[in-house]
Amino acid sequence: MQFLANFYLFKETFPDKQSKIKLLDKDLSILSDEELVVEFQQNNTLKAFEILVQRYKNPLTNFVYRFLGDYEACTDVVQEAMIRFYRNKDSYKSIAKFSTWIYTIAGNLARTEYRRRRRRDFFSINSYGEEHENFEIPDESFRPDIITDSGIKDKIIQNALLKISPAYRQAVILRDIQELSYEEIAEIMGIEVGTVKSKINRGRNQLQKLLKHIYKE
Amino acid sequence: MNEKIIRLLNELPKVNAPINFESKLIENINLPKKSDETWIDKIFLPKLIPAAALTVTAIIIIFILAGTSNDYEDPFQLKPKLRAERIESAIDQNSFSKTDLTGSANLDDREQKILSDNNANALIISDEYRGDSDNISSVLTQVSTIQRISVRTINYTPDQKIVSAGGLNYKIVKLGKDELKRLQMLRGKLSGSVENPQKN
């Protein structure tokens, strides 16, 4: 509604087309997530979709990476989440928050990927080649697990996260890393708030046992 | 303790999406939709596994229950058939031998003919004694066929088994010494009377 009001306001104030376009972009960016989705649903405004992608690509990547522990897989999962949002935009109902909706999609895809990886046998890279040579993964500048995770401590924490139960892991990541509220986490995971707190507590306890040698330092 | 864990998790560096994320996304959106599931994934869906397990369990239970019925010939279920040799083994135990029972080995051609005319391949021992043993031969001469020899059995019990061989039923009986003697006497008389019917 705010968008429409602004639209009619600048239409009279700014007859110049270029000015109009700039202001339209600015108006879109000041809209809330839910308003952008409505704009995207009703007018198929690609710009609204792009703005939402900009807002959520990094938080979702962080969440999925901490859950799966693999950067390549996490970018694929987040891409797939955005594609599903694009193709099924009409399935979003403005009753729920958009962040809850997109986190739910990403969380479900991450769990599916996790289960698929568990089922399959991943061969070690050392088994390739007749002479058992080690093949190095090509260095990519955007791999945060190499650039940002400079400390061994971060890797140990990430490994400990991967060792706890997936349900506890998701709850702990959403609460302690993504800093979402209990109610939002309950909606994302489809459980009660009390269960969320219980899972978070158990996840933290498991992490505590795994990381006791770190925080003693 | 939990606060330390929370602090450790908060201090983890944030992981960002790659720079070419949007361009790659537009490319993927414009690609045609493809299904990642193979036919194996479609069959072994996690949702279908409980139903499949239930179906397999039901089939196994039906198979086990059906296996207990005796409607069909199952060598593991049916009791072994009683063979004719059991008659011999039972008869050998102070009872009649099959040869004696049928009398075929001790009968002459006339007796054999009588037996075969009546499709009788055995002499049935009944539990009821009819007539006097001394008059057996006269009885035999009066009837045209030898179908029955009545012998009193002392050891007969109601639950003795009946076996079938050659379309006829045999009752397995155990005879005492006295009975056996009596039977042998009767046989002797019978064989004698059949050979010379006019003598008596």
Q: Give residue B141's pLDDT band: very low, low, confident or very high (50, 70, 90).
A: very low
- Please report the pLDDT score of residue A24 as a whole number: 55
CA A150 to CA A155: how far, in whole Å?
A: 8
What residue in B sits closest to A69 (Cα-Cα)?
A: B15
Q: Say whether residue A75 is in contact with chain B using an 8 A CB cutoff.
A: yes
CB contact under 8 A, B13 and A144: yes
Q: Does B50 touch chain A (CB under 8 A)?
A: no
pLDDT of residue B175: 79
**Residue A147 belongs to what H/E stretch?**
helix A144-147
Other CB atoms within 10 Å distance of the CB of residue A161: 23
Whether residues B8 and A208 touch (CB distance < 8 A) is answered with no
Assess contact for A74 and A66: CB atoms under 8 A: no
Res B173: pLDDT = 72
pTM beyond cutoff 0.80:
no
Is pLDDT larger for residue B91 or for residue B196? Answer: B196
- Cβ <8 Å between B15 and A66: yes
Is ipTM beyond 0.85?
no
| B162 in contact with chain A, both atoms CB, cutoff 8 A | no
Which segments of chain A have a pLDDT < 50?
Answer: 14, 17-23, 124-142, 147-149, 217
Contact by Cβ (8 Å): B95, B172: yes
Q: Are A155 and A149 contacting, i.e. CB atoms less than 8 angstroms apart? A: yes
Whether residue A176 lies within 8 A of chain B, CB to CB, comes out as: yes
Which pLDDT score is estimated for B32? 75
CA distances from A4 to A7, A22, A35, A99 (A): 5, 16, 11, 23
pLDDT at B169: 72
**Are B13 and A61 a contacting pair at CB < 8 A?**
no
Q: Which residues of A touch B10 (CB under 8 A)?
A: 176-177
Q: Report yes or no: A72 at the B interface, CB cutoff 8 Å.
A: no
* pLDDT at residue number B2: 78
State residue A50's pLDDT score: 93
Task: Give the per-residue pLDDT at B131.
Answer: 41
- Higher confidence at residue A106 or residue B77? A106
Highest mean pLDDT among B64-78, B99-113, B136-150: B64-78
More confident call, B144 vs A188 = A188
User: What's the pLDDT at A133?
Assistant: 41
Whether B65 contacts chain A with CB within 8 A: no
- Does B28 contact chain A (CB < 8 Å)? yes
Residues B23-40: pLDDT tens digits?
Answer: 999 999 888 766 666 677
How close is the nearest chain B Cα to the Cα of A118, in Å? 14
The pLDDT of residue B92 is above 50: no
Best residue in A141, A152, A207 for a mutation probing chain B (most B CBs within 10 Å): A207
User: Virtual CA dihedral for A87, A88, A90, A93, nearest 10 degrees?
Assistant: -140
Query: Quick check: A154 and B12 CB within 8 A?
Result: yes
Q: Do A79 and B12 touch (CB under 8 A)?
A: no
Inter-helix orientation angle A46-68/B21-30, to 10°? 110
Paired with B168 in beta bridges are: B165
pLDDT digits (tens, 9 = 90+) for B38-66: 677 666 677 778 888 899 999 999 988 88
Which chain A residue has the Cα nearest residue B30? Answer: A83
Residue B161's pLDDT band (cuts 50, 70, 90): low
- CB nearest A154 (choices: B6, B10, B13): B13
Which 3 state secondary structure label does DSSP give B17? coil
- Residue B181 forms contact with A (CB below 8 Å): no
Q: Is B31 an 8 Å CB contact of chain A?
A: no
Q: Residue A188 has what pLDDT?
A: 94
pLDDT at A129 (0 to 100):
43
